[in-house]
Amino acid sequence: MKQNKREHLSLLYDVSELSALVSDSKDIDAFLQQVVQSVASHLHADVGSIYLLDDNSGELVLKATQGLNPTSVDRIRMRIGEGLVGVTMARMEPLCDGAACDNPNFKFFEEAHEEPYTSFLSVPIHRGIEKIGVLVVQHRQPDYFDDADVMALRAIAAQLAGIVANVKLMIGLRKPAKTAWPQTLPGELRFIKGKASAAGFALAPAMALKHGDPLMGDAPDDTFQSSAQGYRQSLQATIGQLKQLQEQLVLRLPESAALIFDAHYMILKDPRFDRQILDLIGQGLHAATAVRQVARQFITLFEDNANPYIREKSQDIEDLARRILFNLRKEKGEGRSPMDGHIVIASQLYPSDVLKLASENVAGIILVNGGTTSHVAIMARSLQIPMIICQRGELLQLPADTQILMDADLGNIYLDPSEQVRRQFAERNRVREQTAGEAVRMQPQTFTADGTRVHLLANINLLSELTVAQDLKAEGVGLYRSEFPFIVRSVLPSEEEQRLVYERLFKQMADRPVCVRTLDIGGEKVLPYLNLPQEANPELGLRSIRFLLKHRDVFDQQLRAILRAGAHSEQLSIMFPMISSLDEFEAARQAVDEAIADLSRERLEHHPKPAIGTMIEMPSVLAIIDELATAADFFAIGTNDFIQYMLAVDRGNESVAGYYQPFHPAILRALARIVEAADRYAKPLSVCGETAHDPEFLPFLIGIGVRRLSADPIFLPLVQRTVGAIDLDRARSYAQELLAAATLRQVETARAKWQPLFRPQA
Ligand code: PEP
Ligand code: MG
């Protein structure tokens, strides 16, 4: 008998009851079991199952079932896209099939005893774009489930999402770390190849940022002090350390005037936190257990919050608890924080997280599981923290303090390195330091081998990089990424605060040109405090200039701050990111005109007429390049995004990295066309994406006529050396040959022939 709508409604009610159960329940498995039982019984299904996404392995794991073989729990695993369950998660939509065994995506698991169940209905469990798991019901009778069932199960999944996300969190917190890593690592686990993202070397103990780390879960309690007094002391020590970290951060990063550790302070100020811990200790609980228990309660509370900014702060609670526990240890050991001097392994980081890590003196960062990372890498480079990205989620399970040697010049990771590897590392490090010394001997001007002048400018993300840019004789700032002062704060900086930041920028660069790019947020560069709705496809969403044109107040404030700060700057230029049409460019330019008019009316000192340019990052501008060259005062090609959008390949997604081809014929021809248009209209043009410092790409850029390059300051010596070895006539012929090539293969052949001719002498 099929259920009716009424029963669906009563099911919703029952499930909401379960939310109370989860907070009381100590046994998560029992909770999940109850969920699947109630779902199956209300939908009159023979089978009810729940799969949760394991963030470490990226697999969907069967966590509870009513109807399938119970011993298959935890054993049936599918990757996203694999089997009907994996397809549901991949598509993020319900899947209803009345004859599931015939479905080409059906995956047979012998141990599940699933054969008799012909009808299959699954829905994804998700919160916004966060994937949590899949809920499944099955029935013996073919074509059993109908549209009403789909709707009902979907509603249940939506209702369950928050609770189940917390269950996932609790599983992570309670479960002892997996012992996937043997105590002594066999040879094949000792070397991992990743992608070099921020250069440098580090030899240091590992610290994985994950739930269930040694401080939060595994360590036997007798390593900690147990008393209330011990707890109070560790709390005071933690408060002192946080204060110190904040002070150091402000010195190192003048942009970060606001509190980076605001959530930590918020919790420390909450009397419930301290009181509950002391109460529990008073009742006889060990201090470490009390800290963990109360922290978990707070984490659950934050995780349940509707505001994603607050939800994200749950990580900060764990971090705070970890710090208190670190100070509660009987044997104090090394370092002033759990991360101090460690190589941190994490599965996801935002640019602002990198700031926190920098303030803790981490030795390096290894990011596992891909994800969007390009600006995290930019941030790591700005802060000179070596960083490698790799696809090895199991690194998160590495025993704490395993020695790691990371060579982030090459992307090599050595776990528990042998004496010989260590010796090689020391030698390479010595040579590297020597050559770094040589590199600093920069010439103030840069020429090709035959004497053609090429201007080298700096990309600046953080004000602290200006000194490096000056030391390395940058001729100006070709790209100031103005979003970083916004990223490091916890509220939007005011016009006045922004003005102070830009003033430092102009003052330090004195009479040299400075090009400020207006706010380029969105995509990976999130400002959580804006609490914007989540987008399924943020790289194609309301980002960058689109965001500014929609939020004119934010745009106007920034423009006013730039114009006021640059009042006396002789060579101020402003450019807009992600321009996709002439109309957009004109609208943005008009905003500048209006800001100037307003400032004049208000009699506030300001720059009267900055050069206004556009970044070239979108394929659409190719079709209107002539008109754009007429309208804009200059072009800056952002090859990072240009390649991403031309080839429709996420620049931060490791799994499609193979498609990210700067040497794709379409990219080469498009670049040549843009440069040619800029020349024809006598408009200055620069390249400021990563290709501007790529020794392999530079001969082509020079060959098509690029004469202004803007790169991260640390790359300037390399760029000067590379340009110095390029003969212009030769570069032109090489570029012509590449432009004639229609396939990647032909490009490869031409490169193989020409590249050795452009290599600087060692
Ligand atoms: C680019 O897209 O090439 C660029 C310079 O901008 P960003 O890397 O900040 O997106
Ligand atoms: Mg860009």
The domain that holds 32 is classified in CATH as 3.30.450.40
The neighbour count for residue 107, using CB atoms within 10 Å, is 15
* CA of 459, closest atom in ligand 1: 5
d(CA 395, CA 403): 12
Centroid of ligand 1 to alpha carbon of 638 (angstroms): 5
524 lines ligand 1 (CB under 6 A): no
**154 with 215, same domain?**
no
* CA of 479, closest atom in ligand 1: 5
Q: Express each pLDDT in 18-49 by its tens digit.
A: 444 443 444 567 778 888 888 888 788 999 99
**Whole-number pLDDT of residue 143:** 92
Q: Are 709 and 692 in contact (CB under 8 A)?
A: yes
Give the chain's domain count.
3
Which candidate, 200, 153, 125, places its Cα nearest to that of 7? 153
Centroid of ligand 2 to alpha carbon of 521 (angstroms): 10
Centroid of ligand 2 to alpha carbon of 394 (angstroms): 32
Find the mean pLDDT for residues 423-437: 67
d(CA 388, CA 409): 9
pTM tops 0.75: no
639 lines ligand 1 (CB under 6 A): yes
Residue 589 has pLDDT above 90, yes or no: yes
**158 with 282, same domain?**
no
Catalytic residue among 211, 375, 607, 693: 375
d(CA 619, CA 599): 35
Tell me which ligand sits closest to the C-alpha of residue 690: 1
- CB atoms within 5 A of ion ligand 2 belong to 638, 641
* CA of 577, closest atom in ligand 1: 6
Which of 393, 418, 443 represents a domain boundary (last residue)?
Answer: 418
311 lines ligand 1 (CB under 6 A): no
Find the mean pLDDT for residues 352-381: 78
Tally of CA atoms within 13 A in the half-sphere of 24 that contains its CB: 5
**Whole-number pLDDT of residue 672:** 98
Q: Are 325 and 224 in contact (CB under 8 A)?
A: yes
- 526: in domain: yes
461 lines ligand 1 (CB under 6 A): no
d(CA 295, CA 315): 10
Q: Which of 81-95, 244-258, 409-423 has the lowest mean pLDDT?
A: 244-258
Q: Which of 180-194, 367-381, 483-497 has the lowest mean pLDDT?
A: 180-194
* CA of 688, closest atom in ligand 1: 5
Residue nearest to atom 1 of ligand 1 (CA): 638
- 403: in domain: yes
**Given pLDDT bands bounded at 50, 70 and 90, which one contains residue 198?**
confident
Q: Which residue's structure tokens are 């620049």?
A: 651
Q: Which residue's structure tokens are 């480079």?
A: 381
Residue nearest to atom 10 of ligand 1 (CA): 641
Q: Are 19 and 160 in contact (CB under 8 A)?
A: no
Which candidate, 391, 366, 365, places its Cα nearest to that of 656? 391
Adjacent-strand bridge partners of 233: none
Centroid of ligand 2 to alpha carbon of 314 (angstroms): 30
Domain span including residue 394: 189-418
Centroid of ligand 1 to alpha carbon of 719 (angstroms): 18
**Whole-number pLDDT of residue 762:** 64
688 lines ligand 1 (CB under 6 A): yes
**468 with 561, same domain?**
yes
Estimate to the nearest angstrom the gap between the alpha carbon of 261 and the chain centroid.
19
Cβ-proximal residues to 96 (8 Å cutoff; 6+ apart), any chain: 120, 121, 145, 149, 150
- 624: in domain: yes
Report the residue among 617, 642, 691 best suited for mutation to probe ligand 1: largest number of ligand atoms under 8 A from its CB.
617
Q: Express each pLDDT in 218-227 by its tens digit.
A: 566 788 888 9
d(CA 277, CA 423): 48
Q: Are 401 and 205 in contact (CB under 8 A)?
A: yes
Tell me which ligand sits closest to the C-alpha of residue 378: 1
Centroid of ligand 1 to alpha carbon of 502 (angstroms): 20
**Whole-number pLDDT of residue 21:** 46
Which candidate, 528, 522, 520, 542, places its Cα nearest to that of 461? 520
642, two tokens: 């240009």
Where does residue 320 rank: exposed (0-12), middle (13-18), buried (19+ CB within 10 A)? buried
| Cα-Cα end-to-end distance for the chain | 81
d(CA 228, CA 74): 40
The neighbour count for residue 635, using CB atoms within 10 Å, is 25
Centroid of ligand 1 to alpha carbon of 180 (angstroms): 39
Secondary structure (H, E, C), 468-485: HHHHCCCCCEEEEECCHH
DSSP character string of 333-373: -S-SSTTTTPEEEES---HHHHHHHHHTT-SEEEEES--S-
Estimate to the nearest angstrom the gap between the alpha carbon of 583 and the chain centroid.
31
**195 with 132, same domain?**
no
257, two tokens: 């005037």
d(CA 515, CA 504): 14
Q: Are 22 and 163 in contact (CB under 8 A)?
A: yes
Residue 175 has pLDDT above 60, yes or no: no
Find the mean pLDDT for residues 411-421: 84
541, two tokens: 């969403």
**110 with 250, same domain?**
no
* CA of 689, closest atom in ligand 1: 3
Amino acid (1-letter code) at residue 619 = P
Tell me the CATH number at 291. Answer: 3.50.30.10
- 393: in domain: yes
**Is 375 assigned a catalytic role?**
yes
**Whole-number pLDDT of residue 336:** 66
* CA of 690, closest atom in ligand 1: 3
* pLDDT over 70 percentage in the chain: 84
**Whole-number pLDDT of residue 464:** 83
Greater pLDDT, 759 or 209: 759
Cβ-proximal residues to 398 (8 Å cutoff; 6+ apart), any chain: 181, 206, 208, 345, 404, 415
Burial 514-525 (b: 16+ CB within 10 A, else e): bbbbbbbbbbbb
- 533: in domain: yes
Angle of CA points 378, 379, 384, to nearest 5°: 100
481 lines ligand 1 (CB under 6 A): yes
638 lines ligand 1 (CB under 6 A): yes
712 lines ligand 1 (CB under 6 A): no
d(CA 529, CA 301): 19
Q: Are 486 and 548 in contact (CB under 8 A)?
A: no
Report the residue among 477, 639, 688 best suited for mutation to probe ligand 1: largest number of ligand atoms under 8 A from its CB.
688
Find the mean pLDDT for residues 80-108: 90
**Whole-number pLDDT of residue 577:** 98
Q: Which of 10-24, 394-408, 497-511, 596-610 has the lowest mean pLDDT?
A: 10-24
- 602: in domain: yes
Tell me the CATH number at 576. Answer: 3.20.20.60
**328 with 232, same domain?**
yes
438, two tokens: 């040589």
**389 with 467, same domain?**
no
- 115: in domain: yes
Residue nearest to atom 6 of ligand 1 (CA): 638
Which of 370, 393, 418 represents a domain boundary (last residue)?
Answer: 418
**Residue 254 DSSP class:** T
**195 with 286, same domain?**
yes
Q: Express each pLDDT in 525-560 by its tens digit.
A: 777 777 778 888 888 999 999 999 999 999 999 999
Secondary structure (H, E, C), 89-131: HHHCCCEEECCHHHCCCCCCCHHHCCCCCCEEEEEEEEECCEE
**653 with 731, same domain?**
yes
Find the mean pLDDT for residues 551-572: 95
Find the mean pLDDT for residues 149-156: 81
**135 with 194, same domain?**
no
**Residue 184 DSSP class:** S
* Highest averaged pLDDT of the listed ranges 59-68, 248-257, 364-373, 576-585: 576-585
**514 with 650, same domain?**
yes
d(CA 63, CA 65): 7
**Given pLDDT bands bounded at 50, 70 and 90, which one contains residue 601?**
very high
* CA of 644, closest atom in ligand 1: 2
579 lines ligand 1 (CB under 6 A): no
Tell me which ligand sits closest to the C-alpha of residue 525: 1
The neighbour count for residue 387, using CB atoms within 10 Å, is 32
149 lines ligand 1 (CB under 6 A): no
Strands 403-407 and 412-415 come out as antiparallel
**Whole-number pLDDT of residue 25:** 42
**Given pLDDT bands bounded at 50, 70 and 90, which one contains residue 167?**
low
Catalytic residue among 96, 390, 515, 688: 688
**Is 515 assigned a catalytic role?**
no
Q: Express each pLDDT in 666-720 by its tens digit.
A: 999 999 999 999 999 999 999 999 999 999 999 999 999 999 999 999 899 999 9
Which of 418, 439, 467 represents a domain boundary (last residue)?
Answer: 418
Which candidate, 148, 91, 153, 100, places its Cα nearest to that of 122? 153
Q: What is the mean pLDDT of the chain?
A: 84
- 740: in domain: yes
**Whole-number pLDDT of residue 168:** 62
In degrees rounded to 5, what are phi and psi of residue 633?
-85, -25
Q: Express each pLDDT in 611-622 by its tens digit.
A: 999 999 999 999
Q: Express each pLDDT in 322-366 by its tens digit.
A: 889 888 988 876 666 778 899 999 887 777 678 778 877 899 999
**356 with 505, same domain?**
no
d(CA 389, CA 631): 40
Residue nearest to atom 4 of ligand 1 (CA): 638
